[in-house]
Amino acid sequence: MAHQSLYRKWRPRDFDEVVGQHLVVQTLVNSLKGGRWSHAYLFAGPRGTGKTSVARIMARALNCEEGPTPRPCDHCESCQSILDGSALDVMEIDAASNRGIDDIRELRDKVSTSPARSRMKVYIVDEVHMLTTEAFNALLKMLEEPPSHAVFILATTEPHKVPATIASRCQRFDFRRVPSTMLAEHLQAVSRKEGLSLDGQAALMMARAAQGSVRDALVILEQVSSFIEGDITAEAAGDFLGLIGGGYLDRFCERLAAGDGSGLLMLVAELEQQGKDLLQFVREALERLRLIFLLQNSDAGPGFLDLSQDEYETLRRHADALHSRETPGHLRILQETAEEMRHSGNPRTIMEMGLIRLVRPEMEMSVEALALRLERLEEKLEEILLERREATAGGSAAEGSGAAVSPHAAKGPAAAPTPADPRTDRRPPLPPNQGRTAIAEDGERISEGGVGLTAAEKSTEAPAAASAAYAVPDISAVKRGWSRLKERVKEKSLPVSMSLSLGYPTAVKNGVLHLRFHPDARLSYEKVADEPVRQMIEQCLREVFHADLVLRPYLETGGGPARPRAEEKAVGGRESKPSPADLIEAPAPAKKVPEAVKAVTGPGEEAEATAEDPDHIQQGRSDLSFREKLKEQRRPQRVHEGREGMEKHLVRMVSDVFDGAEVVEEIQLPTTEGEHLHE
């Protein structure tokens, strides 16, 4: 017996053997059972999905001596003649080669005659979209007034090219691509019947290469079995198909997540040395990033993504490592790179440029790239602020422990504070806070950075640390991944993410993550401290850091007495809002009042300024009072009273504001009229 190709040998002969078209098969079977078949069908779908095979099964089902039946016997004369292609009443017409009006007119003349041997005449017109306009018009006449013994089955891969007048007179069935997992199982079943040893991963690679076409998958299996002697492994199948393989794609994702441009260039050199197709690598990398994008923005499972469980776990790990906001830009760059490589004489250079653009967004000038650069700067600034707060907390704890300080060192002269420059008003930065503590929600006092935990607190936190399933990260690792944690929380709840953004991680001790909130963020603290919200955040902590961390939010309190809101308003009725520096650091300890302040304060105000406020805050309040006083008392007519009157008025005003202070320096200020004011 002559050799027969696998796709012809294993063509389905029954509705039960059709792969991946359950909806179409079930509908046709039910119509045959009820005797309600149509006179015209339109089978549309990709190549190799079973359109012609189902049409032949339908022809045998209608003409079987035991039918019409959904299960033709395959033994009667009618079934046998249809199987071997000798049936006179079943005609297959290739519209790609018989597309003229004369061919359709000949068909119209024959359709009116009665069947020769079978019960019904069945006309299978393949690639019907190739008919000319005149031929479609001739076919339309037959579909409008068909004889009772004729059934038309039109098959096409491009249904949009079929005129609406033709499609509206047919029952349309859409054949879909077969999922890769289902197609791989079919290939393994055929391999067992053929005596071949096919690895499951190799079958999955062939199914994906076939892109949902059963016929193409069987052709690939026949080619690979002829090339490989013995067991068909995934490595051998990948080499034959020219696929890159998962190992290279895993390395690509890891180096992309790390921003390793040099590693990506070395990967390109290795691919070229191995003789791999660079364009194929870009296409597979694009498909890998597409799956990562779907994982980052949905709850898709292995079945939806057409992946095995091992592939799904690997892909999930890469999706966690890559930033979700960067993935759309990566997809766009790889798509542009693939298009340019197709038309370039030097594809390696185009590919290297595209890979470098992936890890260096500053080379992109699009709006998305600029937004990404801005977001990275914000994340870097947040890390710097967190490190600064951690250093401040550590210094405060060290300075607050008086037992370790030598008595002689305590009696030593303190360094004099640097006074503010009265001419430039450039004040020195605020010093670190000393003895700064915070009150947790259970009333215990803890220091920033986890320093100074009580014995009872350590004993309560020990069981949580003992039950951790993974290694607990330190505070530095938490800070580095804080932005990823906020993104994960944002995916689940935007309000919780906004509240979490107002908290600052300060320490990780015994499996407990301490999260500090400013007193002005009390509402955010209360929301995060709520039990369901806290459990949700702890779940996100496990997903991001792969460790069991217990979240412990607390409200911050400053080192000095807190001023009530009524006293926050400055002279003149304006409310003084805290600056960003005030939100980061608590008020500095009391300082010695500089000489510049002594010159403008009264005898009793120096002690008050030293006890309550830092020198620059007290001086700022005096300056504010002076400006408000000047604004209230100055009148437009005083400019014309003359230089002498203006001088007396200013001296009198300074004395009123600062309780008898004397002028120690005279500054010439030009006015709009060329005169000078004396202060």
Give the pair of three-digit tokens for residue 560. Answer: 């000095």
Q: How far is the CA of 522 from the CAs of 450, 527, 554, 577, in angstroms?
A: 21, 9, 9, 17
Give the pair of three-digit tokens for residue 201. Answer: 């991963």
CATH topology of domain 246-364: Zinc Finger, Delta Prime; domain 3 (1.20.272)
**How far, in Å, CA of 326 to CA of 600, rounded?**
57
CATH topology of domain 437-556: GMP Synthetase; Chain A, domain 3 (3.30.300)
**How far, in Å, CA of 200 to CA of 177, rounded?**
20
Q: What is the pLDDT of residue 174?
A: 93
Give the pair of three-digit tokens for residue 671. Answer: 């006015």
Q: What are phi and psi of 124, to 5 degrees?
A: -105, 110
Coil, strand or helix at 93: strand
Give the pair of three-digit tokens for residue 512. Answer: 């407990």
Q: What is the pLDDT of residue 53?
A: 92
Sign of the Cα torsion 379, 384, 385, 387 reads: positive
Residue type, 530: D
CB distance 190 to 218 below 8 Å: yes
Identify the CATH number of the domain defined by range 6-174. 3.40.50.300
Q: Helix/strand/coil (H, E, C) string of 357-368?
A: HHHCHHHCCCHH
Q: What is the pLDDT of residue 275?
A: 82
Give the pair of three-digit tokens for residue 47. Answer: 């190549």
- Beta partners for 481? none
Sign of the Cα torsion 34, 39, 44, 49 reads: positive
Shortest CA distance to 125 belongs to which of 61, 52, 37, 47? Answer: 52
Which residues are CB-neighbours of 68 under 8 A, at least 6 positions away?
32, 35, 37, 61, 62, 119
**Cis status of the peptide bond prior to 636, with omega within 30 of 0:** no
Shortest CA distance to 324 belongs to which of 297, 363, 362? Answer: 297
Q: Does domain 180-241 sit in CATH 2.60.40.10?
A: no
- DSSP letter (8 states) at residue 539: H
- The mean pLDDT values, 10 residues at a time, for the chain of 679 residues are 80 90 92 89 92 92 86 87 85 84 83 84 90 88 86 92 92 91 90 88 87 91 85 83 80 89 91 87 91 88 79 88 85 91 89 89 68 73 79 62 42 42 40 39 40 42 43 83 88 86 88 88 88 90 88 74 37 42 43 43 41 41 48 47 59 58 55 44
Q: Where are the domains of the chain?
A: 6-174, 180-241, 246-364, 437-556, 591-678
